[in-house]
């Protein structure tokens, strides 16, 4: 990225942080809107999970090709395009006449998110020197949790006072602020080595992700296993093709950086372990706990509030600690404790237990996310940061998507076609939560081991191994 003054770096940070708050804010409001959406379109828990899953599927599909396009034509341009697409999708979601239409605009919103998420971290990494990078990325990560914090409160009140439709419109002011801020920056971030767009690699990647994720969603049907098998084979072909092409859509060889590779695995596992928590808790509190959306929102607020308050601190602390394994691994351990506590949920809601567990989830994420992201971005050479940034976002979103796919699969297995949550199915829904969290605990244990044995990275690009 061209040289930027201190003032321009601050403006970039405002644009990035503001945009980064939009997606989680919308997502947390959507979780509180699920009962209302279910009542409006007469659908059950399994179908409601598509509200988040279709968005995540779209973002994962588009993140890699969009990142490559940003490398070639400019990350600032793609960042702004993502903001515009998001606001179009928000307006469309408000006017949705059917559940299919609503899902279509959520899919479009995923495309907009891809444009924002894959460019923000790269622009910050390029603009800020190593001594300030952890703080900048930490602040950007904190804004994500700030969006999560605002979402439950606003979403709860909007659902109580109006309906789920109005929550789509609340992101417009934030998007406008980000657009105004980024438009004031003249410099753009472009990969000078980017030559052409890899169409074949893109087709292989999109097909692999789509088939694998659709297969996970429809487990345990026989066709689902076939789709997963084909999707995984396409992933193998994708990696082989990308290694031998001159202008890959994703520089897969960045996984030769040991720290980056293992940090990516840890990120995938921790997001798989904890993303579905708010989906389950939102339904649990409103259906079994009989709380209103605003009441449930204040309970859920306990998680992102802790994350927003502490993420920047741990991002800066990570800059001062020589062993970069310590904080991410500690974050996973804290998350594991929270998951185990959530396994105690029963037919008689204990709000104290729920709040304590959510606060631990928030602390675990605060300790893990910014340090892990900083380690990933600092473990590669500057010329690989575009691909690294895309991978950071893709790994996170793919973990979230798999988390929701596991939730949907568990609902299908335990509740079957009777997935509408009511007094007669409360017990089955609690069983679904328990099984999902057992799987999450296993993910956390593996993530903890991978995180600690990732190796130490004390210099940029110093972790390349065979």
Instruction: With respect to residue 143, please indicate whether it lies within any of the assigned structural domains.
Output: yes
Residue 43 counted as domain residue: yes
Residues 229 and 261 in one domain: no
Task: Looking at the structure, tell me whether residues 15 and 158 fall in a common domain.
Answer: yes
Domain boundary among the residues 211, 246, 281 is at 246
365-405 confidence digits (pLDDT tens): 999 988 998 888 888 887 777 677 767 878 888 898 889 88
Let me know whether 51 and 174 are in one domain.
Answer: yes
- Candidates 304, 278, 379, 215; CA nearest to 20 is 304
**Residue 459 pLDDT greater than 50, yes or no:** no
Given 185, 215, 246, which residue is the final one in a domain? 246
190 and 202 within one domain: no
In the listed set 246, 278, 309, which residue is the last one of a domain according to the structure?
A: 246
Which range of residues forms the domain containing residue 222?
A: 198-246
Residues 113, 16: one domain?
yes
Of 163-167, 251-255, 298-302, 452-456, least confident by mean pLDDT is: 452-456
CA 131 from chain centre, in angstroms, equals 26
Q: Are residues 255 and 221 in the same domain?
A: no
Asked if the structure places residue 1 within a domain, the reply is no
| CB proximity list for 185: less than 8 A, separation 6 or greater | 4, 8, 11, 12, 15, 76
Average pLDDT over residues 418-444: 89
The structure's pTM equals 0.81
Residue-level length of the chain = 466
The verdict on residue 466 lying in a domain is: no
Same-domain check for residues 176 and 230 = no
| pLDDT over threshold 80, residue 440 | yes
Query: Are 367 and 235 within 8 A, CB to CB?
Result: no
CB atoms within 10 A of CB 170: 18
pLDDT tens digits, residue range 143-197? 877 787 788 888 888 999 999 999 888 887 778 889 888 888 877 767 666 668 8
User: pLDDT at position 105, please?
Assistant: 95
pLDDT over 70 for what percent of the chain?
Answer: 94
pLDDT of the residue at 245: 87
Residue 117 pLDDT greater than 90, yes or no? no
Q: Do 158 and 211 have their domain in common?
A: no
Q: Are residues 191 and 164 in the same domain?
A: yes
Q: 80 and 206 share a domain?
A: no
Any residues with CB less than 8 A from the CB of 423 and at least 6 apart, and which?
none
Judging by beta carbons within 10 Å of its beta carbon (0-12, 13-18, 19+), is residue 423 exposed, middle or buried? exposed
More confident residue, 458 or 118: 118
**Contact between 375 and 328 (Cβ < 8 Å):** yes
Quick check: is 300 in a domain?
yes
Determine the pLDDT at residue 415: 83
- Based on the fold, state whether residues 163 and 239 are members of the same structural domain: no
Same domain, 132 and 173: yes
Does 460 fall in a domain? no
Count of the separate structural domains present in the chain: 2
Q: Is residue 226 a part of any domain in this protein?
A: yes
């Amino acid at each position: 990225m061209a040289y930027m003054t201190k003032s321009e770096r601050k403006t970039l940070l405002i644009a990035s942080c503001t945009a980064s708050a939009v997606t989680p804010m919308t997502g947390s409001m959507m979780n509180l809107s699920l009962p209302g959406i279910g009542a409006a379109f007469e659908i059950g828990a399994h179908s409601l999970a598509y509200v988040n899953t279709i968005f995540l599927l779209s973002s994962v599909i588009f993140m890699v090709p969009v990142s490559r396009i940003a490398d070639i034509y400019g990350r600032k341009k793609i960042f702004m395009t993502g903001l515009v697409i998001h606001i179009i999708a928000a307006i469309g979601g408000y006017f949705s006449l059917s559940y299919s239409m609503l899902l279509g605009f959520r899919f479009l919103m995923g495309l907009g998110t891809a444009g924002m998420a894959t460019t923000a971290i790269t622009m910050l990494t390029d603009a800020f020197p190593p001594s300030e990078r952890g703080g900048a990325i930490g602040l950007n990560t904190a804004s994500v949790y700030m969006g999560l914090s605002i979402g439950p409160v606003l979403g709860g009140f909007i659902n109580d006072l109006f309906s789920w439709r109005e929550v789509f419109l609340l992101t417009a002011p934030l998007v406008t602020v980000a657009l105004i801020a980024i438009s004031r920056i003249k410099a753009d971030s472009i990969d000078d080595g980017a030559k052409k767009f890899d169409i074949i690699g893109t087709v292989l990647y999109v097909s692999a992700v789509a088939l694998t994720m659709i297969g996970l969603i429809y487990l345990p049907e026989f066709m689902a296993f076939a789709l997963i098998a084909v999707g995984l084979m396409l992933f193998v072909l994708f990696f082989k093709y990308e290694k031998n092409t001159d202008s890959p859509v994703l520089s897969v060889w960045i996984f030769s950086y040991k720290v980056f590779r293992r940090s990516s695995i840890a990120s995938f596992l921790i997001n798989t372990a904890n993303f579905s928590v708010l989906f389950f808790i939102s339904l649990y509190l409103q259906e079994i706990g009989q709380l209103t959306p605003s009441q449930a929102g204040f309970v859920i607020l306990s998680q992102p509030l802790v994350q927003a308050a502490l993420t920047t601190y741990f991002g800066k602390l990570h800059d001062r600690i020589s062993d970069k394994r310590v904080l991410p691994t500690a974050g996973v351990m804290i998350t594991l404790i929270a998951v185990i506590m959530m396994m105690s949920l029963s037919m008689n809601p204990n709000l104290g237990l729920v709040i304590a567990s959510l606060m631990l989830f928030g602390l675990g994420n605060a300790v893990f996310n910014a340090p892990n992201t900083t380690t990933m971005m600092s473990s590669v050479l500057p010329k690989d940061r575009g691909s690294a940034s895309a991978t950071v976002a893709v790994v996170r979103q793919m973990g979230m998507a798999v988390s929701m796919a596991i939730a949907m699969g568990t609902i299908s297995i335990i509740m079957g076609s009777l997935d509408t949550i009511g007094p007669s199915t409360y017990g089955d829904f609690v069983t679904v939560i328990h099984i999902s969290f057992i799987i999450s605990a296993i993910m956390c244990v593996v993530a903890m081991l991978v995180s600690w044995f990732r190796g130490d990275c004390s210099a940029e690009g110093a972790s390349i191994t065979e």
